[in-house]
Chain A
Amino acid sequence: MEECFALQVHPSDNVATVFASPEKGSRVRVDDSTGTSHGMQVEDDIPYGHKIALKEIAQGESIFKYGEVIGQATKLISPGQHVHVHNVVSLRGRGDLAPAITEEDAHDI
C-alpha cells in the first residue's frame, strides 16, 4: 500500500481529498466510503488537503464531493490531476455573473 492516502467521501464523487503532499509521478492510495482502496498515479504536485481527480472530468462538468456539486470544471481534467481554483469555478455568490441589481432588489439587501 502507498504511504500517501486520499479519501473519497461519497461513491459518486469524482475527486478525493489527499492527506499528504504527493509529487507528480508518485502514487497515492485512495480510500473510498465503502472501506476499499485502490492506488493511482499522481499527475501534478498536490498540496496537503487538496483534491485529486479520480476520473476524467470534461470542461463544464460538475465536480462532486460529499455526493454534492461543489463547482464546475473550467477545462478538461485528467485522472490524477490537481483539482482546485485553477480548473474549478464556483457557481454561487457570483456577483460577476449576476444581472445588474435593480432598485427593487436593492431594498432587500
Chain B
Amino acid sequence: MTFNGYQRPDGRVGSRNLVGVIPTVVCANDVAQAVVRQVQGCAGFYHHQGCCQLPPDLDRVTETLISLGKSPNLGAVLLVSLGCEGTDTDRLYREIQSTGKPVEIIRIQELGGTSKAISAGTDAAQKLALEISGRQRVPCELSEVVMAIKCGGSDATSGMASNCVIGYVADKMADLGATVVFGETTEFIGAEHILAKRAIDENVAEDIFRIVREMEHRAESLGCDMRKGQPTPGNIAGGLSTIEEKSLGAIMKSGTRPIRGVLAYPESATGRKGLWIKDSPGREPEILTGMAATGAQCMLFSTGRGAPQGFPSMPVIKICGNPHTYERMANDMDINAGTVILGQKSVRDVGEEVFALMLEVLNGRQTKNEALGYFGSIDIHTLGPVI
C-alpha cells in the first residue's frame, strides 16, 4: 500500500514539505516568529528551553531539536541561535545537515541584534523555501510511515470509543509493516502490568515498569496526591475518578500488538517497525514535540472534552469519542467516534474511516487544526529544574 509523499535524501519520506524554523533557545523565539510570519511555507517551533538548565537537560534539548530537524516533514531547516545558549548549536547544524537536507543558521548576537537577525533570517528562510518549493510528491510505501498516537482532554468516552478506534488503526498499521508510537507514561500508571504482558521480551517489560516507576516518582516528589495534575480537572468533570481509570482507558489506543521497545524522549523511531513506546508526559506541547522528533508523519489524537491543538509540522487528526463534544466542536474535530457510544457504528467502521482520512492527510489534505493554524504552543520535556 502506498501514499504520495516527499522522498528525502536520507531515504525517509514526509507528508509535508516545510521549512522548519527552529530557535535553539527560548531567547531566539521572537526573531524566529518574525521570520515565520514573513516567509510562506515555514513551521516555527517556539519552545522554552535551551539555557540555564543542568547538562543532562541541555543534551536532551539538543538531541530533541536534532531529531525534530531531521524529521521528514521538514524539507529544510533554519536554526535561529542567540549566541550564548546552552544547547550545542554546532552539533545541531552538523547532525541535521547529515540528512542531506539544506540547513542554515543565523546567530542574533553575531549579526548585531534583532532587526539585522530578522533580515538575515528572512533572506535565509526565503532561499530555503524557494529551494524546496518545487519538490513533487511521489508514491511511497505506507510501511515507511511512523504514526504517532495520543489522547488528550479525555473523558469517560475516550477509553470506550475513540481510543478503541485508534487501537484498531494501530493494529492495522503495525500489520502493514509501519511504525506506531504511543507514549504518555503518566497514563500507564495503574495499567503498566497489562502493557508489560505485551512486551516482546523481559527487557522491554522491565523498561516499561522502569519508566512508569520514574514518572510516578517524579509525580510524588512534591509530597502530594497527583489528582488534579493527573487526572486533570477536565478529566474528573468528564467522569474519570483516578489515574488508574484514566490509564486503563488510555492504553486502549495502543491496540493489541506486541510492544517492541521503549524510546527515550528525544529518540527517533527511524528503522524500527511495529509498536513502540515513547517515554513522555501526557501534556500536549511536550508529547507532540516528542512524537514529531520520533519522525512521525502524522498523529491520531483522541479526545472527549475537546482538545483542539495540533503541531506545526505534524498533521494531527482529532478523533472525538464524545458525541456531544463533537456536535459542539465540529470545526476542531476531524472524526466523530461518538457514534460508537451511541451504538450507531462499530469500532471497526469508525477505524476504517480514520484510516481512510489518514491516507488523505498523508497525501496532503489538511487536518482541521492545520487549516486553523492552531499549533503555536509547543515545548520540550525536561527533567530537572531551570536554574
Q: Using a CB–CB distance below 8 Å, which chain A residues touch chain B?
A: 7, 9, 17, 19, 47-51, 63, 65-66, 68-71, 83-85, 88-98, 100-101, 105, 108-109
**Beta-carbon contacts under 8 Å, B197-231 to A:** 214, 216-227, 230
Q: Which residues of A contact B230 (CB under 8 A)?
A: 93
**Chain B: CB-nearest residue to A90:** B242
**Chain A: CB-nearest residue to B222:** A95
Which residue of A66, A88, A101, A109 contacts B242 across the interface (Cβ within 8 Å)?
A88
- CB B306 to nearest CB in A, in angstroms, measures 13
- One digit per residue, 1 when the CB lies within 8 angstroms of any chain A CB and 0 when it does not, for chain B 237-254 equals 111011111001100000
Q: Are A68 and B244 in contact (CB under 8 A)?
A: yes
**Chain A: CB-nearest residue to B240:** A49
**Chain A: CB-nearest residue to B249:** A66
Q: A47-B239, A70-B241 are in contact. List 17 more A-B contacts (CB 8 A).
A: A7-B160, A9-B160, A49-B322, A69-B244, A71-B242, A89-B242, A90-B225, A90-B227, A92-B189, A93-B226, A93-B227, A93-B243, A94-B226, A95-B220, A95-B222, A98-B220, A109-B214
Q: List 12 A-B contacts (CB under 8 A).
A: A47-B239, A49-B156, A49-B157, A65-B248, A68-B248, A90-B241, A93-B230, A94-B226, A95-B220, A95-B223, A96-B225, A109-B218
CA A90 to CA B229, docked complex, whole Å: 13
Q: Which residues of A contact B290 (CB under 8 A)?
A: none
Q: Which residues of B contact A49 (CB under 8 A)?
A: 155-157, 238-239, 304, 322
Q: Are A93 and B304 in contact (CB under 8 A)?
A: no
Q: Which residues of B contact A68 (CB under 8 A)?
A: 190-191, 194, 244, 248
Q: Are A105 and B225 in contact (CB under 8 A)?
A: no
- CB B237 to nearest CB in A, in angstroms, measures 8
B236 close to A (CB within 8 Å): yes
- One digit per residue, 1 when the CB lies within 8 angstroms of any chain A CB and 0 when it does not, for chain B 156-168 equals 1101100000000
Take A7-B160, A49-B157 as given contacts and tell me if A98 and B223 are in contact as well, using a CB distance cutoff of 8 Å. Answer: yes
CA A96 to CA B304, docked complex, whole Å: 29
Q: Using a CB–CB distance below 8 Å, which chain B residues touch chain A?
A: 155-157, 159-160, 189-191, 194, 214, 216-227, 230, 236-239, 241-245, 248-249, 304, 322, 324, 341, 383
Which residue of A50, A90, A105 contacts B156 across the interface (Cβ within 8 Å)?
A50
**Chain A: CB-nearest residue to B251:** A66
CA A85 to CA B216, docked complex, whole Å: 20
**Chain B: CB-nearest residue to A72:** B242
Q: Which residues of A contact B237 (CB under 8 A)?
A: 47
- CB A37 to nearest CB in B, in angstroms, measures 12
- CB A48 to nearest CB in B, in angstroms, measures 7
Q: Are A65 and B245 in contact (CB under 8 A)?
A: yes
Q: Which residues of B contact A88 (CB under 8 A)?
A: 241-242
**Chain B: CB-nearest residue to A69:** B244
- CB A58 to nearest CB in B, in angstroms, measures 17
Q: Are B220 and A70 in contact (CB under 8 A)?
A: no
- CB A13 to nearest CB in B, in angstroms, measures 11
Q: Which residues of B contact A84 (CB under 8 A)?
A: 236, 239, 241
CA A98 to CA B156, docked complex, whole Å: 28
Q: Which residues of B contact A7 (CB under 8 A)?
A: 160
Q: Which residues of A contact B226 (CB under 8 A)?
A: 90, 93-95
CA A65 to CA B159, docked complex, whole Å: 11
Take A65-B248, A90-B227 as given contacts and tell me if A85 and B222 are in contact as well, using a CB distance cutoff of 8 Å. Answer: no
CA A87 to CA B223, docked complex, whole Å: 22
CA A92 to CA B186, docked complex, whole Å: 11
Q: Are B244 and A108 in contact (CB under 8 A)?
A: no
CA A57 to CA B34, docked complex, whole Å: 60
Q: Which residues of A contact B218 (CB under 8 A)?
A: 109
- CB B173 to nearest CB in A, in angstroms, measures 24
CA A91 to CA B155, docked complex, whole Å: 20
Q: Are A19 and B243 in contact (CB under 8 A)?
A: no
**Chain B: CB-nearest residue to A65:** B245
Q: Which residues of B contact A47 (CB under 8 A)?
A: 237, 239
Q: Are B225 and A95 in contact (CB under 8 A)?
A: yes
CA A63 to CA B245, docked complex, whole Å: 10
7 closest cross-chain pairs (CB), A and B: A49-B239, A49-B156, A95-B220, A93-B226, A90-B242, A70-B245, A71-B242
